[in-house]
Chain A
Amino acid sequence: MTVAHRPTSLGDAIRLMADPVAVAVAGCTDLLVADLATGRRHAAVVDLSRLPELKGVREDGGVIDLGAGCTFTELRRDPLVRSHLSSLAEAAATIGGWQIQNRATLGGNIVNASPAGDALPVLLALDATLVLGGTQGTREIAYESFHQDYRKTALRQGELLVRIRIPRPSSTTWQAFRKVGTREAQAISKVVVAMSASLADGALRDVRIGAGSLAPTPVRLRAAEGVLTGRVPDAAAADDAASAARAEVRPLDDVRSTARYRRWALGNVVRRFVRGIRA
């Protein structure tokens, strides 16, 4: 039998999480599927869905600050997300169907730490910082150093992901998101890519490309970023970036796709992104 706690403040939740057997639960769209597959039961669960500290999207001194408990339905409809974080709004719209989006949270996508998590390349491209809360207090960590290995994160025992902070992109920042799956909706990605860049005097600056389903964790495509930095986003730059991206990843063959297909699709997505860049 499980003991279920439904705290209504972050402080209470953190105290409950100090119990080493306690498991945090948000939208349960990963957790219950994993429980079903493994037959595991939990001695204690701590529900995060009533914590006001994990809710809402706000703008705070040049940062868009997202609650870890925001669902993808909330994110894709949110006016701040739609106007400043269009790539996140697009990612949110591709995560499962409506039923999943109504329950699945951004925090769950991050902590579940699947290499195929669709919101994760966006966090790399937009340079997100995570705010974690635990009995020792609050700390911040760049999302880029949060995912350490296959399903391994920097979260400490009992810690909760509280907020996701993204520097507000400037009005000249260009963003894109693309997920390649078997069907349009509700499919785990074969390749998922997000990009952001700005244009100064016709040349690309601040290029960041994040990609998922290609390695044990989501990765930045630094070679492709390097190729594009300082370049005019013309057809030659698009081809060079595509080749660099294909060369720098080491994808695997698995049940969802082959390494060869993933490389090919990745290059096509990167090329299309660069060709789509408009000032």
Chain B
Amino acid sequence: MSRHALIVDGRRILVERDPMDRLLDVLRDAGAKGVREGCGEGECGSCTVLLDDQPVCACLVPVFQADGASIVTSAGVIDAAGQDALASAMLTEGGVQCGACTPGIAVTAHALLAKDPAPDRDAVRDALAGNLCRCTGYERILRAVLRAATAKEEAS
């Protein structure tokens, strides 16, 4: 075992783990249940977290590579006010059905909107290419992200 210090949604945590343990398991064991496991091999994006602001699959990051890094999960991307533009756009557009993909999509979409506040359709498609959704057919999710971008523009 070795010690690893991570900042998870702004909170510092210290864990004793095998360095090759997956960040996904470390986060879930530390109570960050917004990080979901789907495929466990990088394909589905349901375990997406931000690792130093970059979306990554937590199932493919050994914990030692996250040592000292800041990690943001779906719980951490909701605005302080709780009025997350993306969450409400997802509801309005019907972008959530079974919900299995939703936390990962929320994290990826937040990273996109932070980098590019007014993305076009192609930019949204490109950003979400690594997040699979078996229910919605993507169109509603796409529209939700575009709607959230517009809502954020108007609010700012």
Do the two shown chains form a genuine complex with each other?
A: yes
Interface of A toward B, CB cutoff 8 Å:
1-4, 6, 25, 27-29, 32-33, 35-36, 41-42, 45, 47, 49, 73, 93, 96-100, 102-103, 184-186
Complex interface: chain A residues within 8 A of B20 (CB): 2, 4, 35, 41-42, 45
Partner of A98 from B51, B55, B59 at Cβ < 8 Å: B55
Count A-B pairs with CB separation below 8 Å: 85
On whether the beta carbons of B56 and A103 are closer than 8 Å, the reply is yes
Say yes or no: A102 contacts B60, CB within 8 Å: no
Binary interface encoding of chain B residues 108-150 relative to chain A, with 1 for a CB under 8 A from any of its CBs, else 0: 1001000000000000001111110000000000000000000
Instruction: Let me know if B41 and A102 touch, CB within 8 A.
Output: no
Q: Are B126 and A98 in contact (CB under 8 A)?
A: yes
Instruction: Give Cα distance in the complex from A102 to B60, angstroms.
Output: 12
Let me know if B57 is at the binding interface, CB within 8 A.
Answer: yes
Known: A4-B19, A36-B41. A98 touches B129 (CB 8 A): yes
Could you give 7 example pairs across A and B, Cβ below 8 Å? A4-B2, A97-B128, A97-B131, A98-B108, A98-B111, A102-B56, A186-B43
- Write out the residue numbers on chain B whose beta carbons fall within 8 Å of the beta carbon of A185: 126, 129-130
A42 to B20, CA, bound (A): 8
Closest 6 CB pairs of A and B: A97-B130, A185-B129, A4-B19, A97-B129, A4-B64, A102-B54
Within 8 A of A (CB), among B70-125: 108, 111
CB of B62 within 8 Å of the partner chain = yes
Residue of A nearest to B22 (CB): A32
Which of under 10, 10 to 19, 20 to 34, or 35 or more describes the interface residues of B? 20 to 34
Q: Nearest-CB distance from B103 to chain A (Å)?
A: 13
Kindly report which residue of chain A lies nearest to residue B127, judged by CB atoms. Answer: A98
Whether B130 pairs with A28 at a CB distance below 8 angstroms is no
Cβ proximity bits B44-58 to A, threshold 8 Å, 1 near / 0 not: 010010010011110
CA distance A27 to B55 in the complex (A): 13
Q: By the criterion CB–CB under 8 Å, are B19 and A33 in contact?
A: no
Contact A32 B59 (CB under 8 A): yes
In the complex, the answer to whether B56 meets A4 with C-beta atoms within 8 Å is: no
Task: Report the separation of the CA atoms of residues A49 and B42 in the bound assembly, to the nearest whole angstrom.
Answer: 19
Q: In the complex, what distance in Å separates the CA atom of A98 from the CA atom of B128?
A: 7
The contact of A6 among B1, B54, B64, B128, by CB within 8 Å, is: B64
In the complex, are the beta carbons of A100 and B1 less than 8 A apart?
Answer: no
In the complex, how many angstroms separate the beta carbon of A22 from the nearest chain B beta carbon?
13
A25 contacts B62, CB within 8 Å? Answer: yes
- A4 to B129, Cβ gap below 8 A? no
Verify A28–B65 contact, CB threshold 8 A: yes
Find residues 20-41 in chain B having any chain A CB closer than 8 Å to their own CB: 20, 22, 40-41
- The distance in angstroms between the C-alpha atoms of A35 and B128, with both chains bound, is 26
The CA-CA distance from A184 to B56 in the complex, in Å, is 20
* Cα(A185)–Cα(B43), bound, Å: 11
